[in-house]
Chains A and B, each alone.
Chain A
């Protein structure tokens, strides 16, 4: 018996349509057999905005007559619970501990079960990993700030001797401008080399200090050790960084960075202003401007090009300018949804990011809605492919 109940087996496009009609139903509503596992998420941003992708996804799924299976990824039966579903969605927070888990869990699920997963590996492998992002930009020939990554202390020390100051020192992980420092001189640079190739750091909070202060820091660390703690082991929100040195050119003259959020073929743009007296923005907590006319088309096309290269379902890109050329600084997988919702409209790209027509669509769109709409297409396509494989196995006599 065929898995979906004896529908006639067709081939190619006609078959895909027949499965789609089976799944979606004649009234455009999917049959109850579609089940989507969703891990709840809930965040209150520093500005008080509440965010829950999962709540919205559950509403959207119910409106489409899709069964929603709430999952607790930390429960022991999480994998078994998901394995009975057609897809899985999780808007995972960026805190280090959960991320370390989520990356493994999501990819294992994608590779092991073969069901569509949000975020997919292509949308999440660079998550909170500026080192991986830098290698990707370089390999994909995406304009980015000049970056030097060193994996040995000697190479990092040599760089510090000859570097042009100031430069920007970054840790691989760390969101909302944390773990990014403007290094102004060699002494400071050597301090961080020592930290990163010594015990490692959870953040760039400490700065070079007098000998006395350094001694005090050490004694404090020793006291914590006496209590049985490791002063260098981060809490759940951070991770230990060590064994690399990531230096990036400082790009002066940028009053703002452009954050472009790509979801499928849609682009949402916002300018985030650099804080006075700083070289960083305050993430989504600082001054922002959503006027689309202030964002150049070249910036949007660069963002689309990068997202296409990644093959990501969604990604947010931070873009600065080196002189007049836009350069990608960072990729983010878990942007704040309210920033997207505040956009007065979005660009829609048809075809090639560099030359395809791009149209402005007025009106507010929720990121969760756009993601879900695209994901539903993925689910339908995957369901069709699975059905195809199952019928082939039956035809081949494999049970």
Chain B
């Protein structure tokens, strides 16, 4: 019987016009590898039956709120309930768009991060804001491409966000403190919307309501760029993301420098260490420096494929991340290909061990 992989289709068009579809590429690769790829619709009623008839499942899920909240549940149910290999597996996806979970993980693993304070009570957050060192970086737990990240410059601004996060909650950090008339106007606008049966802070398909916590992180000056290292198995793709003009954030700036000479080997090993600790199939690690010390700011699962593809080569790690050989391999590689290779190869090898005559187990 042919080896069958269930694939959920995905398609994104990035701001720079790059079209991305991991699933399109995986379908092509499956054909080349002699593997049956079965298109599934995760939103159909019989999705589990569709996937159950296959040997594995892959879904490059969108980071927006509703698909993500659904995907986390479905993927884990398939992995644990059906016992099928899935991409992304739980170890790769549990931290997906959850900066709070990521921080606790990094902290538990002893991996350096910027100094971070998370408060779950209003009083604690308010007290912190009185004594805090300004500016600091305020983050919402979910939110990608630097949205939901703010530099809080003074106490007034901090109090404003404490109030927002511990009262009605917010779906984004769009609003800033304003003058009294402006605040009154905002509130009246809100009242009018509520009277119509809606709410301006209601969550949407893209954004979820965030409330009941306050996530403050030290501001690290002197970082004009961050280093993004995308780990896929034993490969590391590196580039620097220069900050947006007059901004402290690099994420989503689109100003990328792919020169591998600019990223030290120590950072590559550092990123491998975090990925190995997570035991993730893939993860992108964003690194800044506190003085000379590298610190991990964020983990990303749903990175843009084009930026990885445009790397002029990648590092391959052999063995332990601290002592193993690190070799540079020239040439571009698509992340879709690396993920597919890592995911499918052991499955086919296992199958071939069981049945050496299995034609489906012949791959390039």
Point out residues on A near B: beta carbons under 8 Å.
Answer: 74, 76, 79, 82-83, 97, 100-101, 104-105, 107-109, 111-113, 121-122, 125, 129, 131-132, 135-142, 148, 151-152, 155, 198-200, 218-219, 221-222, 225-226, 228-233, 236, 240, 242-244, 309-311, 398
The secondary structure that dominates the B interface is helix
A242 to B204, CA, bound (A): 9
Say yes or no for B45: interface residue by CB 8 A criterion.
yes
Contact residue among A148, A230, A398 (Cβ-Cβ distance under 8 Å from B45): A148
Q: Do the beta carbons of B108 and A113 come within 8 Å of each other?
A: yes
A310 to B77, CA, bound (A): 10
On whether A104 and B98 interact (CB within 8 A), knowing A228-B187, A240-B203, the answer reads yes
Q: Do the beta carbons of B197 and A136 come within 8 Å of each other?
A: no
Q: Do the beta carbons of A233 and B323 come within 8 Å of each other?
A: no
- Rounded to whole Å, the gap between the CB of B143 and the closest CB of chain A is 16
Q: Mark B311-331, 1 if CB is under 8 A from A, else 0.
A: 000000000101100000000
Say yes or no for B362: interface residue by CB 8 A criterion.
no
On whether A200 and B209 interact (CB within 8 A), knowing A138-B81, A152-B43, A233-B168, the answer reads yes
Say yes or no for B53: interface residue by CB 8 A criterion.
no
On whether A151 and B168 interact (CB within 8 A), knowing A104-B98, A222-B194, the answer reads no
Contact residue among B81, B108, B187, B191 (Cβ-Cβ distance under 8 Å from A112): B108
Most interface-central of B203, B212, B279 (chain A CB within 10 A): B212
Contacts of A113 in B (CB 8 A): 108-109
Q: Do the beta carbons of B80 and A311 come within 8 Å of each other?
A: yes
Contacts of B196 in A (CB 8 A): 218
Q: Do the beta carbons of B320 and A105 come within 8 Å of each other?
A: no
Q: Do the beta carbons of A135 and B187 come within 8 Å of each other?
A: no
Say yes or no for B154: interface residue by CB 8 A criterion.
no
Say yes or no for B134: interface residue by CB 8 A criterion.
no
Say yes or no for B105: interface residue by CB 8 A criterion.
yes
- Rounded to whole Å, the gap between the CB of A215 and the closest CB of chain B is 9
Contacts of A242 in B (CB 8 A): 202-203
* Interface hit among B8-16, B19-27, B66-74, B345-353: B66-74
Q: Do the beta carbons of A243 and B203 come within 8 Å of each other?
A: yes
Specify the chain B residue showing the minimal Cβ separation from A137.
Answer: B81
Q: Do the beta carbons of B106 and A112 come within 8 Å of each other?
A: yes
Q: Do the beta carbons of B187 and A225 come within 8 Å of each other?
A: yes
- Rounded to whole Å, the gap between the CB of A244 and the closest CB of chain B is 8
On chain B, which size bracket covers the interface?
A: 35 or more
Q: Do the beta carbons of A151 and B212 come within 8 Å of each other?
A: no
Say yes or no for B104: interface residue by CB 8 A criterion.
yes
Q: Do the beta carbons of B81 and A135 come within 8 Å of each other?
A: yes
Say yes or no for B340: interface residue by CB 8 A criterion.
no
Contacts of B65 in A (CB 8 A): 243
Q: List 16 A-B contacts (CB under 8 A).
A: A111-B94, A111-B278, A112-B109, A121-B90, A139-B77, A199-B198, A225-B190, A225-B191, A230-B167, A230-B201, A232-B202, A233-B167, A233-B211, A240-B203, A243-B203, A309-B81
- Rounded to whole Å, the gap between the CB of B95 and the closest CB of chain A is 8
Contacts of B103 in A (CB 8 A): 108
- Rounded to whole Å, the gap between the CB of B263 and the closest CB of chain A is 24
Contacts of A141 in B (CB 8 A): 81
A109 to B277, CA, bound (A): 12
A32 to B52, CA, bound (A): 49
